[in-house]
Amino acid sequence: MKKKFNLYTGLSFLMFLTLITSCTTDPDSPGTEYMPDMYRSPAIETYVDYGEIRGRENTELKTKQSARLTPKYTIPYTGTDSAHVQMMLPNKRKAGAAWQESHGLFGWDLASESGYESARLDTINPLTMTPENAANILKNGEQLYASMCMHCHGEKGDGNGTMIQSGAYGDLGVVPAYKSLDTLSEGKIFHSIYYGKGYMGAHGSLLNKKEIWTLVHYVRQFQREGYGKFEDVAETESNQETAE
């Protein structure tokens, strides 16, 4: 009986000591933390040097890049419009296996044959242009075009960008004027931007699909007089495509 009493007293005393030593007079201090990693677990962030955490150095981690690649098949998507989710799914047309060599598409889902030809008829721009959104689409397209395409294709889409003018491109490949490709289907334009074509590199990892479809509209307005201008009713049917 006496032993048990002693045990309880001992335990209570220990608990009392623990509580007392946990307190501090500094109102901003959380007091003694017995397991700080549990209260504040270190969040894994992209650009953080995990080689030094709270003053502790880890030379092995210090030399490693902390930025992680997104998991395979991750679909870039931001926004709240469910209609656009579909647009962000991987392209159903595959580039041919040869693209691995010519365009460096390693780790991509490639087919034995390129889907370029089959993108001819039934792949239409899911980003439908209406009188309400036309100006906005073309404005976004202009921005994307200026940063990703203009240096080769030229401001007016004539294939005479600054990179061609500078001679840096040499005789490698002639950048075609969009106007000369006016029968090109929307699907083919998309395919070429997504996977690249000839001396043009693949942009599938640089632009999301909504951005590429925006650029398809932007390329079109170089090819078709009045495209995206809705004064004329005949021009409103952006999805009416002729096969090449």
What the block records as the tokens of 155 is: 């401001």
Give the shortest CB-153-to-ligand HEC separation in angstroms: 5
Q: What is the closest distance, in whole angstroms, from the C-beta atom of residue 218 to ligand HEC in the complex?
A: 7
Q: Which of 203, 209, 210, 217 binds ligand HEC (CB under 6 A)?
A: 203
Q: Which of residues 163-182 bind ligand HEC (CB under 6 A)?
A: 173, 175-176, 181
Asked whether the beta carbons of 77 and 65 are under 8 A apart, the reply is no
Report if residue 202 touches ligand HEC, rule: CB under 6 A. Answer: no
Among 200, 229, 235, 236, binds ligand HEC (CB under 6 A): 200
Per CB under 6 A, the list member of 114, 123, 125, 192 interacting with ligand HEC is 192
Token pair listed for 124: 């239409």
Look at the block and give the residue holding tokens 């045990």.
7
Report the C-alpha gap between 215 and 123 in whole angstroms.
Answer: 15
Question: Which of 13, 16, 50, 199 forms a contact with ligand HEC (CB under 6 A)?
Answer: 199
CA within 13 Å, CB half, 19: 6
Query: Mask 206-225, x = binds ligand HEC (CB under 6 A)?
Result: ---------x---x------
Q: Which residue is nearest to ligand HEC (CB)?
A: 198
CB closer to ligand HEC out of 21 and 147:
147
CB 216 within 8 A of CB 203: no
- Between CA 152 and CA 165 the distance in angstroms is 9
Q: Binder to ligand HEC among 93, 94, 103, 197 (CB under 6 A)? A: 197
# residues near ligand HEC by CB under 6 A: 20
Quick check: 153 binds ligand HEC (CB under 6 A)?
yes
Residues across the chain = 244
Pairing of the two strands 56-57 and 52-53: antiparallel
Question: Does 189 contact ligand HEC by CB under 6 A?
Answer: yes
* DSSP state letter for 96: B
The residue within the footprint of ligand HEC, chosen from 188, 209, 210, 217 (CB under 6 A), is 188
Would you say 87 and 126 are in contact if contact means Cβ atoms under 8 Å apart?
yes
Residue 143 zone, left/alpha/beta (φ > 0; ψ -120 to 50; rest): alpha
Check binding of 134 to ligand HEC (CB under 6 A).
Answer: no
DSSP state of 227: T
Q: Which residues bind ligand HEC (CB under 6 A)?
A: 148-149, 152-153, 173, 175-176, 181, 184, 188-189, 192-193, 197-200, 203, 215, 219
